[in-house]
Amino acid sequence: GDFETSLETVVIGAGPGGYVAAIRAAQLGQSVTLIEKTHIGGTCLNVGCIPSKALIEASHHYHDLISSPFKGVSAKEVSLDFSEIQEWKDNQVVKKLTDGIKFLLKKNNVTVLEGTGYFMDENRIRVMHEFGGETYTFENAIIATGSTPIEIPGFKFNDRVLDSTGILALEELPKKLVVIGGGYIGSELAGVFANLGTEVTILEGQSAILPNFDKKLVSYVEKSFKKLNVAIETNALAKSAKTTADNVLVTYEVNGETKEIECDYVLVSVGRRPNTKELGLERVGVELDERGLIKVNDQCQTTLDHVYAIGDIIPGLALAHKASYEGKIAAEAIDGQDVAVDYKAMPAVCFTSPELASTGLTKKEAEEKGYSVKVSEFPFQGNGRALSMNKAEGLVQLVSDKETGEVLGGQIAGVNASDLISEITLAIETSASIEDLSLTVHPHPTVSETIMEAAEVGLGLPIHI
Ligand code: FAD
């Protein structure tokens, strides 16, 4: 090209990985350019974490009204306007947040370029958009292009066979929904529609839904799905979907037996694949592993020294907070700081009913690492606040080192598990012991007391059990 603008730090993708990396790099004095092809905020803010949580809350509110969990409280006339919920989610939640991110990027002097970025060579990047494209030279790059829903054979996406993005944007409420894949995305969205009155069936290929969570925790979710009449077919192999004008016929196989189910919408939520194609990575020598994820070291540096990669496109949990954490590390590494990622306390949450959350090591993982492990549990049934919220289903499980008492991990099923898990994460991060947790005064009555109580169980001195 003729004159090529030279960029200092270029970030590709404006999800929770990329926009956070861009802001941190700018805070550290780098001149930062952020390239985004669709929408600022990425999957998380636009078609992932945030819109799904908005629908989850609205659906719980509706369900509590039509089927009040409190004796003596009931509503006579309850109405549901799904399109109004969608309008609220889009304009009052998603738009407010993405506008906020745009403001923050501006405030931090991050230049945003709309377009698709790809590498021309080791030091040049091209940004393509509807009016053509420009080529830039760059000093450092952070790749944060995220992931995309996987399509499976027999289930070509269309108006009725949807991925998570499609179902989050639905204009009408499905009467009958088939969810293929009972991982956390499928289970969360199954819950939304079941709460709103849709007849939901989950087809799960493995022997149980939420296979990444402890069986004991998952049993609480299974119980609540049962109450909502959500049908769960395990060991189910989804074969095909035949779409007509207003219906879909799903064929699947269980233990060799072929079954059919009719519905008006299908959600395929069987996983996501990294967006590493079409970036020109092979051209510049950024290597991928056998699963197509970008290989990185503990500074998120790829096999090309001045190129970093973060978030869903590198190994590890595909979660927003992990992407953001890596984004800060990559920006600081470019700044020359002596930083490294440490995943020993990485929380994961599933926003089902009840919520499931885990952090650090499970008992099995701790044992595999050679620890002599102590597991201590406290049930939510023994917690005054949980009972008075009428949400006493669940438990806290602490995994600690039998010798030193050091907290190694934790698992929670129960109300507000998503918030509670942070205390255990902090304990692991700061190498606190179960004694530290037990000596920390927790306000009464709060659900957080279950963590203190689980620690006391571990010390053999439980008060309320
Ligand atoms: P993304 O958020 O995917 O952002 C990547 C961005 O890069 C996108 O905006 C994309 O348009 C852009 N891009 C891609 N290629 C290019 C290119 N060549 N040039 C320019 N731009 C490009 N995680 C949680 O932690 N908690 C949750 O509750 C949660 N719920 C979820 C619910 C759903 C329905 C889904 C689908 C996901 C959920 N996730 C959740 C996962 C979370 O959204 C992802 O882990 C997170 O968004 C990954 O961040 P990222 O920055 O790596 O990528």
> Which pLDDT value is given to residue 232?
98
**Encoded tokens for 232:** 């769960």
> Which pLDDT value is given to residue 111?
98
Is 204 annotated to bind a ligand? Reply is yes
Active site residues: 444
For residue 24, what are the contacts with CB-CB under 8 A and spacing of at least 6? Answer: 327, 328, 331, 332
User: How many angstroms separate the alpha carbon of residue 12 from the centre of ligand 1?
Assistant: 12
**Encoded tokens for 73:** 């409280």
Cβ-contact 96, 51 below 8 angstroms:
no
User: How many angstroms separate the alpha carbon of residue 408 from the centre of ligand 1?
Assistant: 29
> Which pLDDT value is given to residue 317?
96
54 lines ligand 1 (CB under 6 A): no
Nearest residue by C-alpha to atom 50 in ligand 1: 146
CA distance 230 to 144: 36
354 lines ligand 1 (CB under 6 A): no
From the centroid of its chain, how far is CA 165? 14
Question: ∠ at Cα 315 (101, 359), nearest 5°?
Answer: 75
Cα-Cα-Cα-Cα dihedral sign, residues 143, 147, 148, 154: positive
> Which pLDDT value is given to residue 2?
55
Q: Which class for 325: exposed (0-12), middle (13-18), buried (19 or more C-beta within 10 A)?
A: buried
CA distances from 40 to 16, 19, 47, 271, 331 (A): 9, 8, 11, 23, 19
**What ligand 1 atom has the least distance to the C-alpha of 39?**
9
332 lines ligand 1 (CB under 6 A): no
411 lines ligand 1 (CB under 6 A): no
Cβ-contact 125, 135 below 8 angstroms:
yes
> Which pLDDT value is given to residue 93?
98
Q: Which of 39, 143, 145, 167 most suits a substitution to test ligand 1, by most atoms within 8 Å of the C-beta? A: 145
Mean pLDDT in consecutive groups of 10 residues from the start of the chain, 465 residues: 83 98 98 98 98 98 96 96 98 98 98 98 96 96 98 97 98 98 98 98 97 95 98 98 96 97 98 95 95 97 98 98 98 98 98 98 97 98 97 98 98 98 98 98 98 98 92
**Predicted ipTM > 0.95:** yes
17 lines ligand 1 (CB under 6 A): yes
- Token pair 């509590």 is found at 64
CA distance 301 to 297: 5
